[in-house]
Chains A and B, each alone.
Chain A
């Protein structure tokens, strides 16, 4: 049997980042923190993709998480990173729990389009809500950590380290979950739902649980993005945002819980470079990258790891 190094890899990366972090330039820390935020959303998508479901609406929960974090600062004066992420994740999970009763009934294109429609409803609501800044959104208070306000040189590092910590814990929990009987139902549901039902398990319940977990991760990611960027607007719920997450998930592949974060980082790099080279046609560069990926690496970036391992043997 193949040895599982995921736990060591996650913990090792975290320690490495914690040590190397202070020497990183500010822009690199920013890109990495945003990558952790997007990676959390993509980690939820990994869970859904393994179950055979493509959600075109994870932006709904991403945006809910971001606005929850924003509302904390705007209405309660709270700007603690961990409180923001906790509340962001909890609000997203609670909404997903309710929506899940509807969505868990659907599969394939119906699941995808329904999830997209729900995120566009939130977009529509936010655009019309003056109290939340309508199309302009609003700014978020500078992040604090457990009541402490890090010095200006240390804010980025503090947020980065918090993001890395939360992402590591989330990755390890999902990794563990995928090894439990309930988590292992994911490929079973993808393959043959009839058989799952006739072995005494509820596919709908299993999908519902995975949908809520994915939403919570997206909510945490949204809160993290909000506090990192310092500004939120309804675009976070727009369908193109959901598209970005799917892009990342496909780019990364569903082979391992670390993949979404690697994918998000590379996506961020491609995005930044494309924007730098051609600010008006950056979508084209991104599109070309996706096309190349589908042609040459249909299983995502993570499949490279498998190929390398096979070669070394």
Chain B
């Protein structure tokens, strides 16, 4: 399989805390990868370095063979690497529909299809449809159609999470990084949300990395697991093998016996 994302020897320290120590990983195209580890193990730092929020002290990140280590977040997004957030980052004063339209507007503008006086009526790249149709389409796909005209601020937790992810989909990401897509969501909802997200993402076609604490969710949905501990990757394997790893059992899963 082709490698879409390659991290080599990433290091990052915050004062005395080592958030990444020689982190290397190669992510295969169209795979679904789960990132596990306790709080502070370096999962989010890894995502933040890939998406440009943090610059690694050392090491490189290549996307489809191109070095993206020093690019700002918006440049990385434009290349097709998009992310969602542990705490949903929405436009709180706007309706769910307008949240989508803002995102689609940015896509149109980056494609040179909207200027200072052009309203951006051109078909959205990657979708071949008008902006409002794309918004409706994605809202439907993420089960958010009923919230269309609601203010993003007052959505239920699960819907906020879904909207946060739906917003990343407008740019047709090739790599999608989901930071704890099911945190703050009830146990019953978790599987439903992950299923819906992965169905939507697969339909649009993208590689997915997701941070997750629930091992049942990980073993059900991930094809591969990266286990983090103390800024290092201590296991990189298929879910069953990774979760059976003695180090992972000790440091990540915890001895439940």
Binding site for B on A (CB under 8 A): 173, 176-177, 179-185, 187-188, 190-192, 194-202, 209
Given A181-B102, A181-B114, A198-B77, 17 further pairs, Cβ under 8 A:
A177-B117, A180-B117, A180-B120, A181-B108, A181-B119, A181-B120, A188-B102, A191-B90, A192-B89, A192-B92, A196-B102, A197-B72, A198-B89, A199-B103, A199-B106, A201-B106, A201-B110
Check: B10 CB closer than 8 A to any chain A CB. Answer: no
Of chain A, the residue at the smallest CB distance from B91 is A191
- Whether A195 contacts B90 in the complex (CB less than 8 A), given A180-B116, A182-B109, comes out as yes
A198-B91 contact in complex given A180-B119, A184-B105, C-beta closer than 8 Å: no
Assess whether A195 is in contact with B116, with CB atoms less than 8 Å apart. no
List the 4 shortest-distance A-B pairs measured between CB atoms, nearest first. A181-B105, A200-B77, A191-B91, A195-B89
**Docked complex Cα distance between A197 and B171 (Å):** 13
Which residues of chain B have C-beta atoms less than 8 A from A187's C-beta?
Answer: 91, 93-94
Closest B residue, CB atoms, query A194: B89
**A-B contacts, 29 listed (Cβ < 8 Å):** A176-B117, A181-B109, A181-B119, A181-B120, A182-B116, A187-B93, A188-B91, A188-B94, A191-B90, A191-B93, A194-B85, A195-B91, A195-B167, A197-B73, A197-B74, A198-B73, A198-B77, A198-B82, A199-B77, A199-B106, A199-B170, A199-B171, A200-B74, A200-B77, A200-B78, A200-B110, A200-B171, A201-B74, A202-B74
List B contacts of A179 (CB < 8 A): 119
Given contacts A191-B94, A192-B91, contact A184 B115 (CB under 8 A): no
Are the CB atoms of A192 and B109 closer together than 8 Å?
no
B104: chain A residues within 8 A (beta carbon)? 181
* Inter-chain contacts of B119 with A (CB < 8 A): 179-181
B118 within 8 A of A: yes
Residues of chain A lying within 8 A (CB to CB) of residue B77: 197-200
CB neighbours of A198 from chain B (8 A) = 51, 73-74, 77, 82-83, 89
Q: Using a CB-CB cutoff of 8 Å, which residues 80-134 of chain B contact chain A?
A: 82-83, 85, 89-94, 101-110, 114-120
Closest chain B CB from A182 CB (angstroms): 6
Among B105, B115, B171, the one with the most A-chain Cβ atoms within 10 Å of its Cβ is B105
Question: How far does the Cβ of A211 sit from chain B's closest Cβ, in whole Å?
Answer: 14
A179 and B117 CA atoms in complex are apart in Å by 8
Give the secondary structure class of A's interface: helix
A197 to B74 Cα, complex, angstroms: 5
User: Which one of A173, A177, A185, A197 lies within 8 Å of B105 (CB-CB)?
Assistant: A185
Contacts of B115 in A (CB 8 A): 180, 182
A241 and B175 CA atoms in complex are apart in Å by 51
Most B CB atoms within 10 A — which of A182, A197, A199?
Answer: A199
- Contacting residues of chain B (55-82) with chain A, CB-CB under 8 angstroms: 72-74, 77-78, 82
CB contacts (< 8 Å) of B118 on chain A: these are 180
Across the interface, which residues of A come within 8 angstroms of B103, CB to CB?
A: 199
Q: Evaluate contact between B102 and A184: CB separation under 8 angstroms.
A: yes
Contacts known (A187-B91, A202-B74); A180 close to B114, Cβ less than 8 A: yes
Distance in angstroms from B178 CB to nearest chain A CB is 13
Once bound together, how far apart are the Cα atoms of A99 and B50, in whole Å?
Answer: 33
Least CB distance, A246 to chain B, in whole angstroms: 21
Chain B residues within 8 Å of A201, by CB = 74, 106, 109-110
Minimum CB distance partner of A193 in chain B: B89
A200 touches B91 (CB 8 A): no
CB neighbours of A176 from chain B (8 A): 117
Whole-angstrom CA separation of A181 from B82 in the bound complex: 20
CB contact under 8 A between A200 and B106, given known A187-B93, A191-B91:
yes
Q: A177-B116, A198-B51, A199-B171 are in contact. Are A184 and B101 (CB under 8 A)?
A: yes
